[in-house]
Amino acid sequence: MKQLTKTDFILYKECDKNVWIKWHKPEEYNKFEISEFEQSLAIVGNEVEELARTMSIFRGGYLIDKRSHGAQELTKKLIAEHTPVIFQAVFGTDKYLAATDALVWNAAANAYDLYEIKMSSALGDDVADSIGDTEDVSGKPEKVDKKKELQYEYDLAFQVNVAKHCGVTFNKKYLLRPDKNYIRVGKIDPDKLFALTDKTEKVSDDFQSITLSEMEGAYVYLSEEKMPVGNCKCYYKGRSAHCTSFSISNLDVPKYSVHDLNRIGSSKKYLKELLDDKILKIDEVPEDERIIPKEAKEGEKPKKPRKLNQVIAYKTKKPIIDLEAIKKELDHLSFPLYFLDYETYPSAIPLFDGYHPYQNIVFQYSLNILRSKDAKLEHEECLILDGDPAERLVESLRKHIGDTGKIISWSKKFENSRNLELAHLVPSGANFLKDVVRRTYDLMDIVENQYYIHHDFKGSSSIKKVQPVLAPKYSYKELAVGNGTAAIEAYRQIFKGELIGAAVEEKKQQMLKYCQYDTEVMYEIWKFFTDLVK
Ligand code: SF4
């Protein structure tokens, strides 16, 4: 009979049905290929764990490198001998299986202390966040992610419970993770890089009991042979909350559905009403008062009927265009125009001096320059794959970007966050970079503010949805490196020396082509809007 692992238990807590599909319909579950980015996350996770093992508290540790029954026997033996440090000790019962990252013998307590090593940083930010475009550049302290902290506590409690079943109790329960406040200077010092959090109080006896009953519930649910009936829990959530298994449990939901309505994630009551009324398709959404914003009070800016516009555009299959607003946006863009895009690598372990864990390393940019309306589009680029690119990249950028004109990006928060970080890393370029931030215009605003709505945007302002409509001659699908995560993985492979000889040059060309695509696509979209308002 299958054993419940802590990974599946944590997944189960997020979504029971998804794990049921993983257990009983693996071919369906695995139908969605793991992205290169997910693969690289696993590699980064291993790198973090290997580095943590070199900390002084773990000196001379014994690594059990198998998960088989033999590993459990070896664990028993090592524990009976009070082996000072054990990595990957394995505990199993007929229902559960847990591997612990590190156990350290505590002679004073006559028991082992448990250490769980996590790749996410101690401030609740993680690699996925850091490649997104939602970062706070205000310099405010980051908040602790309570949901994630609780998840880690369940993770520890799972291990404690399984070990207890095997007759082993732990003294302290710790989390170890890269400390975002650590700044690399010279060789990495693992003792300083990792922050220790004592979770012993949180993983109390009561918490362990609660976890145990949830583990038992999970085991019963997952052992059920029949697929749980009905739609899954995310049926009442917006598209961004859905996992790849959504379509398996919700056969009645079309690919483009009311789950894609603009900002529907924050209109849960309305989404529930639609679904309970069996309204699934966008063109079936009634144009009633629920999607017409209330009249603005005095002094308030009137709200846009965002959902209504999306529905009308889809029903009529005609774009909704606010020519005046687009013209106003474009009129303030003074030449030369610089279409700029960065590629970055968020390294869990800082690769260079001055960086903290997960800080994005800007290793590449593409720049298309339009000096006047009728000028020929120029192209510049920079790709640095050896050593810290910051100084050389800023120097190159300074050569390419003049003192006047607008810099255009798509979702400028990301590029500007990088500019401010670069200003910190390269003080001699700080004034220039701050000026770049001031002069950057976000082309996405035209779509985001609904000055141009196309039914094929499907309620999104992501460039992935906008490009096929407004710059159709480009196709990312035909590129070998065709998205940001593939570029991250390409950088990692070259930096780690996993590619050699001609393969490096080939990959470089693919990276350059991809980044250039991004800025050319931006130019095409700008041109589309400019021609529209001529
Ligand atoms: S979409 Fe369905 S299967 Fe996926 S996480 Fe949500 S509830 Fe679970």
Confidence of residue 41 (pLDDT cuts 50, 70, 90): low
Q: What is the CATH number of domain 4-223?
A: 3.90.320.10
Strand-by-strand arrangement of the 378-383 sheet: 378-383, 360-370, 337-346, 406-409, 440-442
CA of 243 to the centre of ligand 1 (A): 5
CA R_g for the chain? 26
Residue 243 CB less than 6 A away from ligand 1: yes
Residues of the chain with pLDDT > 90, as a percent, come to 77
Distance CA 483, CA 510 (A): 11
d(CA 534, CA 523): 16
Q: Which of 28-37, 129-138, 296-305, 381-390 has the lowest mean pLDDT?
A: 129-138
- Give tens-digit pLDDT for 307-319: 999 999 999 999 9
Residue range 111-132: average pLDDT?
66
Q: For residue 519, what pLDDT is reported? A: 97
Residue 471 pLDDT more than 90? yes
Instruction: Identify which of 86, 527, 78, 496 has the alpha carbon closest to the alpha carbon of residue 333.
Output: 527
3-state helix, strand, coil in the chain (%, to 5): 45, 15, 35
Q: How far is the CA of 15 from the centre of ligand 1 (A)?
A: 6
Cβ atoms of 399 and 324 closer than 8 Å: no
Q: Which atom of ligand 1 is nearest to the CA of 243?
A: 4
Domains 4-223 and 327-532 share a fold: no
Output the average pLDDT for the chain.
91
**pLDDT at residue 137 greater than cutoff 50:** no
Mutate to test the pocket of ligand 1, among 11, 12, 18, 248 (most ligand atoms within 8 A of CB): 18
pLDDT band at 32 (very low <50, low <70, confident <90, very high): low
- The owner of tokens 């602790």 is 144
Any idea where the domains of the chain sit in the sequence? 4-223, 250-316, 327-532
What b/e sequence results for 39-66 when a residue is b if at least 16 CB atoms lie within 10 Å of its CB, and e otherwise? ebbeebbebbbebbbebebbeebeebee
Residue 139: the pLDDT is 41
More confident residue, 2 or 103: 103
Q: What is the mean pLDDT of residues 178-198?
A: 95
Helices 484-495 and 36-52, packing angle to 10 deg: 40
Q: Where are the beta strands (DSSP E) in 432-522?
A: 440-442, 452-453
Amino acid at 142: E
Q: Establish whether residue 12 lines the binding site of ligand 1, counting it when its CB lies within 6 angstroms of any ligand atom.
A: no
Question: Does 406 score more than 50 pLDDT?
Answer: yes
Residue to probe by mutation, ligand 1, list 31, 227, 245, most atoms within 8 Å of CB: 245
Task: Output the pLDDT for position 304.
Answer: 81
Q: How far is the CA of 169 from the centre of ligand 1 (A)?
A: 35
In this structure, which CATH number among 3.40.50, 3.30.420, 3.30.930, 1.10.357 belongs to the domain 327-532? 3.30.420
Indicate whether 415 pLDDT > 80: yes
Ligand 1 site, residue 394, Cβ cutoff 6 A: no
